[in-house]
Amino acid sequence: MPDWLSAIILGLVEGLTEFIPVSSTGHLLLTSRALGLEPGFWDTFVVMIQLGAILAVIALYFQRLWKVLIGLPTRPEDRRFALSVLIAFIPAVVLGLLLHDFIKQVLFNPWIVCWSLIIGGVVLILLDRWRPTPKVTDAMQTPFRTALGVGLLQCLSMIPGVSRSGATIVGGVLMGMERRAAAEFSFFLAIPTMVGAFSLDFLEGHEVIFARPDGWQLIALGFVVSFVSGLVVIKWMLGFIDRHGLSPFGWWRIAAGIVGLGLLAFS
């Protein structure tokens, strides 16, 4: 398969799965394996194109984010929201820096991904049936205690296959957030989290990119595809969760994990 086509496929997988609770990292790892892509450049590629999906969040929520930014000096509610996102962000920063090498060297294993997909799917199905009564209906008014709980749950997403959006949405719902509010807070939290992951991996993997004459072209292609597909998914997801809940994503994860285990067993 031509590399440009692999870049498009991975860009689509990233954009379509980054903001739904099915694990974009898990799907990217399994897709890379299915396509027969070699580690090294493509490992860096899948991290770099995540920035495209994050820019989709910024584009769709630009007016709300800009309002918060210009309101920081004068509006206490804007400072409170920004601080809630910062509180949720800090646990992943600390743990990510401490365990980065271990995560990359040990946990990036397709068997771990498959089992994480299945276990996470079961959690989503159970949460839809037995979730706490929601007390927070607006992501912009997330209490600090709730934000900290979401941030601690986000740390589980360092295990490939767990899903960053899945962990943060589950954390929000368990802490008393309405599902839509939890999903929106997950979107906002994705901005600093994924920019941080992008920056760290760029510093460590930029030599791999420069080693390929077409490295930047492939990343640019995947970046654009992930951005466009991310726009579509974010608009669609909130309405879908309102109508159908989280269970469909749980069944998707279980099916993907079982298929992945089958492929691994017979490969």
Q: Where in the sequence is the domain holding 35, given as residue range(s)?
A: 3-265
Q: Is the pLDDT of residue 202 over 80?
A: no
- C-alpha pair distances (Å), 117 with each of 23, 163, 171, 174, 205: 7, 8, 17, 19, 27
Q: Please report how many Cα atoms fall inside a 13 Å half-sphere around the Cα of residue 52, on the Cβ side.
A: 30
Residue 151 binned pLDDT confidence (cut-offs 50, 70, 90) = very high
**Domain total in the chain:** 1
Q: Is the pLDDT of residue 91 over 90?
A: yes
Q: What DSSP character marks residue 132?
A: P
What pTM value is reported for the model? 0.88
| Cα separation, 249 vs 244, whole angstroms | 10
Among candidates 235, 187, 18, 210, which has minimal Cα distance to 88?
187
- C-alpha pair distances (Å), 248 with each of 125, 128, 132, 209, 224: 8, 10, 19, 37, 28
Q: What is the mean pLDDT of residues 120-125?
A: 95
C-beta separation of 178 from 139 below 8 A: no
The residue ranking higher by pLDDT, 91 or 33, is 91
| Cα separation, 122 vs 118, whole angstroms | 6
Q: Is the pLDDT of residue 145 over 90?
A: yes
* 177 beta partners: 136
